[in-house]
A = this chain, B = another copy of it.
Amino acid sequence: MKALVFKAPYEVAVEEVPDPRIEAPLDAVIRITTANICGSDLHPYEGRAELEAGMVLGHENMGVVEEVGPGVNRVKKGDRVSVPFNLACGTCRNCNDGWTSACLRANPSGQPGAGYGYPKMGPYRGGQAEYLRVPWADFNLLELPAGDEHENDFTMLSDIFPTGYHGTELAKVSPGRSVAIFGAGPVGLMAAHSARVRGAAQVFVVDKEADRLRLAEEFDATPVDLSDGDPVEAIMDATDGLGVDCGVEAVGYQAHDPGGQEHPGLVLDNLVSVVRATGAIGVVGVYVSDDPKAATEDAKHGRVDFTYGAAFEKGLSIAAGQCPVKKYNRELRDLIIRGQAFPSRIVSHELSLDDAAGAYASFDKREDGWTKVLLRPGGPV
């Protein structure tokens, strides 16, 4: 089959690789209809997270079940499904507790958490390909209505819609609260959409890209343009000096200060300033424990320096981490089906798998308008 293969930093190519097959009784093989490129695919692409050459990329996958192993008893050939980016066993302690993001058994390294086509997440190939093997298929797969309706909405269920929603869950967004979201990339925009779904009264989204801020407005959020000055001041002004109840970090440690310098603690500093005393911050922008290319010696080892003294004085809670997709994807699916959610608004490109290498290059350069790219390994749906 054809698949997008990682060769070396900044070098990916669509190549022929062996078809995936049923390797264990609980496996399924999925024919991919849509696979998205994710902002975090750029970490290995840029060499900031080490990936072995030859790995197939792609952890935002959906498609149709092609074949199942003999122990699979729930999903069956022909089912249309979404594949959560966390690959989980379904029977360990963390899976039992709903933390599929920290499955204790799926990653042979022994680290909690596994995934598809990603550094440190186990040997599992990604889904920017014609087919994908999914272990523990009955547990991992979310069933979708047959057909091709809502394809571009449903494809957001594998990662970024739940991830944005998780940010608002960690930030304790509830009806009537005010929220500041830093970052208007796909995850930040999904957090804005989620904040409205959860009944937030006021939603601010901070970024400096005009096209992304326009999308924030489409999700009924108030855009705050970093290029216009200090976002903390802007939000304090808009909230009568009180600040917001909830903050979402959707940027990560690669944040850049106005001078263009990478500055890992920058967004946390801003959130500690802008969230009011007793508030909560949800961190879904990625921080890592080691990064050979990081800006400072501390950052190379995942140390981050921020205004924790003020966070204590304000009594803030700061919760972080990868989203356990299964915790949210069924409900988000139902909101899409009932017309209450429409995450596909962020889609900027629908491309053939053959165009994937070019798409990585454009997306990595943050070319204007490249918000969210969908790949169609089987052609247009």
A residues bordering B, Cβ < 8 Å?
Answer: 24-26, 69-71, 73-74, 89-94, 96-99, 101-102, 105, 112-113, 138-139, 165, 170, 174-178, 197-202, 253, 264-265, 268, 276-278, 283, 286-291, 298, 301-322, 326, 330-335, 337-338, 340
Roughly how many angstroms separate A264 CA and B24 CA in the complex, as a whole number? 49
Report if A301-B307 is in contact (Cβ < 8 Å); known contacts: A176-B332, A177-B331, A277-B102: yes
Query: Shortest distance in angstroms between A66's beta carbon and chain B's nearest beta carbon?
Result: 19
CA A174 to CA B328, docked complex, whole Å: 11
Given the contacts A289-B309, A301-B307, A338 and B73 also touching, CB distance less than 8 Å: no
Contact indicator B326/A96 (Cβ below 8 Å): yes
Number of copies: 4
Min C-beta distance of A25 to chain B, whole Å: 4
Give the chain B neighbours of A326 by CB distance below 8 A. 96
CB distance from A242 to the nearest CB of B (A): 9
Give min CB distance, A248 to chain B, whole Å: 14
Q: Are B177 and A315 in contact (CB-based, < 8 A)?
A: no
Q: Which residues of B contact A170 (CB under 8 A)?
A: 317
Cross-chain contact A304 with B301 (CB below 8 angstroms): no
Q: Is the CB of A312 within 8 A of B335?
A: no
Q: How far is the CA of A219 from the CA of B113 in the complex (A)?
A: 36
**Partner pick for A70 among B71, B290, B312, CB 8 A cutoff:** B71
A307 to B290, CA, bound (A): 10
Distance to closest chain B CB from A190 (angstroms):
13
Q: Could you tell me if A317 and B319 are in contact, using CB atoms closer than 8 angstroms?
A: yes
A202 to B287, CA, bound (A): 31
Contact status of A199 and B198, CB under 8 A, knowing A25-B70, A101-B315: yes
